Structure 1
């Protein structure tokens, strides 16, 4: 159910601003203030004394996309969303290079990102876009309230040996990859360890942080919404260009289990081509792709809604009936059955593909989960359509609250 803290604020703008300022004053994180606010002052001063050599510039330009891919293909699409399987060498490569982007460990990053997807645009969303551009960009790091952020299941990550290893040795890895390695290469290659440290190291990492932050802020603020307008994520070409394809954010939030963000061949999504190339080299496998019919359905639904307003779709009662007692008996016998709005669904084939993890489905097996599906998690029209494909029966009308359910995009 929707909690009080998730309801839209009805106070005046002045009161909201006062409350926000009080929040900032009480929750200052000095580490992030040092990294995000104070450090750029010293970086700008250092550029006045250290010349930006041509070789160092080329080295910096090379490291930018490599580091970004470690976040987009590794932290995000591999570990946060499990959109494909990666071989052990690829996982170690992505974990090591990703540590050098100074975005904390895989476990830390994915915990917050999964919470963002599960509680999008609510106060339990760590970088809630409805609190404003600044807050979703970096205010949530400068003035964090982790005790209010929604809990998620990351048990799968805690069983991943690469994730555990990187989390344990994150600090030395981050220092070595982000600063020492770029500086060492510049020193050995063209005798410019200072330029390598400043430009290929510190400045590159700092800009990389803000490029990633733009996915949380600008891609929730500017752009179109061709796949769903229930939440704030949008398609933003600029963000896609500077983040190796993460700017197709509206598609990603509607279809988070797809390894692609830019679904069309012409979309600027280097990350999907990197993952596809890894598959060709047998470094990656089981790439998850949403069927074209599901993507087209989402687009057509949005077009119909924009032309005629929200539609209500009624699922016909053409499936076999099942008593509540039979439903409970089969669930106890081991079948992955869930009841939602009077319909019975067999989720066994979908359980491990569920964006929120299999544990969330296991919690509602053999139960009536209408409020969980429609109110607690606010599933998209795509999720509702996908759910309909797994329906196996209708609960006997005498035990069902609803004969049909609504597919809306509100």
Structure 2
């Protein structure tokens, strides 16, 4: 199969981003106010949580329901991550689950680490991705005014929330230079991208398979820690409707679950879907690699 042609606009965009992020790291370590670095970490966490609790667990999988104020908040948080609009993110993710590790999977891990990590974003989509994508039911997203608002105004929203706010706040409140603040905002953005991409690459290649040894997604603690609980990937692909995306007790390696639980207690989230313990145990006994331990 001949390789897909490069999308040079995307290649140049990512090269420029990474060069600027290196400058941002240097500024963060040598010249920037410590509050600017701290604020950058906070923005990374906000954007990352917008991806995991919003685009992934809410809009892609409908693993819980959110009231309008929370949906608006999650939309803004996700926009800070700058990973295209929710509609496209959820469409690609639904394709990924339905056709995992096939030509219809947008970031097919069987094509190698680099392709699954970020190469899929700089290559033209496989024809099967487009074909199956056109068949994917997205009616729930089309009916959500928050998703459609963000889709319509994504570019100005992303410029404002992903870059302008993280740049202006340090400049206005503690006198950081605009150059330092902007470069560190780019660093934040690139870090968020890579932590999300690791779920598609590393968590599909390395780790145990306690729930299903027949699929490539694996339990990867390092990815879970960097991506707020999204690295427990063998469980997630076995039970994609579980809002926790994991069976582990506690919140230490699953901060997204803690966030959703807090929103539930505040009355902002409801109808949280989980998997009965006996169903998990039977799946692990039938298909697991023997590493499963009863919780």
Using structure 1 for the length normalisation, give the TM-score: 0.66
Say if 1:218 and 1:239, in contact at 8 Å, map to a contact too. Answer: yes
Aligned partner of 2:229 in structure 1 is 245
**Backbone CA RMSD of aligned residues:** 1.8
Q: Where do 5+ consecutive residues of structure 1 fail to align? A: 1-18, 308-410
Q: Per the alignment, do residues 93 and 122 of structure 1 end up closer, same or farther by CA in structure 2, a change over 3 Å counting?
A: same
CA offset digits 1:309-343 (Å, max 9, x no partner) = xxxxxxxxxxxxxxxxxxxxxxxxxxxxxxxxxxx
In 1: Cα distance, 2:101 partner to 2:27 partner: 44
Q: What is the CA distance between 1:137 and its match in structure 2? A: 0.6
- 1:174 paired to 2:158: yes
Cα distance, 1:102–1:31 mapped onto 2, change above 3 Å = farther
Give the equivalent residue in structure 2 for 1:370: none
Give the corresponding residue for 2:169: 185
Specify the structure having the higher radius of gyration (Cα): 1
Instruction: Give the distance between the partners of 1:31 and 1:103, measured in 2 at CA.
Output: 16
Deviation at 1:120, TM superposition (A): 0.7
Matched-pair contact (CA < 8 Å) for 1:186–1:195: no
- What is the aligned partner in structure 2 of residue 405 from structure 1? none
- Which moves more between the two structures, 182-191 or 262-271? 262-271
1:91 — aligned with what?
71
- Where does residue 30 of structure 1 map in the other structure? 8
Q: Retained in 2: the 8 A contact 1:223–1:234?
A: yes
- The residue aligned with 1:222 is 206
Equivalents in 2 of 1:264, 1:145: separation in Å? Answer: 35
Unaligned runs of 5+ in 2: none
Q: 1:16-52: per-residue Cα shift (whole Å, max 9, x none)?
A: xxx4xx414xx21123212322331244346556723
Q: Does 1:284 find its partner at 2:264?
A: no
TM-score, normalised with respect to structure 2: 0.91
Q: Do the aligned partners of 1:245 and 1:261 also contact (CA within 8 Å) in 2?
A: yes
What is the CA deviation profile of residues 328-387 of structure 1, one whole-angstrom value per residue up to 9, with x for unaligned ones?
Answer: xxxxxxxxxxxxxxxxxxxxxxxxxxxxxxxxxxxxxxxxxxxxxxxxxxxxxxxxxxxx
Farther off after superposition, 70-79 or 39-48: 39-48
* C-alpha distance 243-48 of structure 1, shift in aligned 2 (>3 A): closer
Give the number of the structure with larger relative contact order, counting CA–CA contacts within 8 Å between residues 6 or more apart: 2
Determine if contact 2:203/2:219 at 8 Å carries over to the other structure. yes
CA distance in 1 between counterparts of 2:243 and 2:15 reads 34
* Aligned counterpart for 2:258 among listed residues 265, 268, 273: 273
Number of equivalences: 283
Secondary structure at the residue paired with 1:246?
A: coil
CA change 1:96–1:264 in 2 (3 A) is same
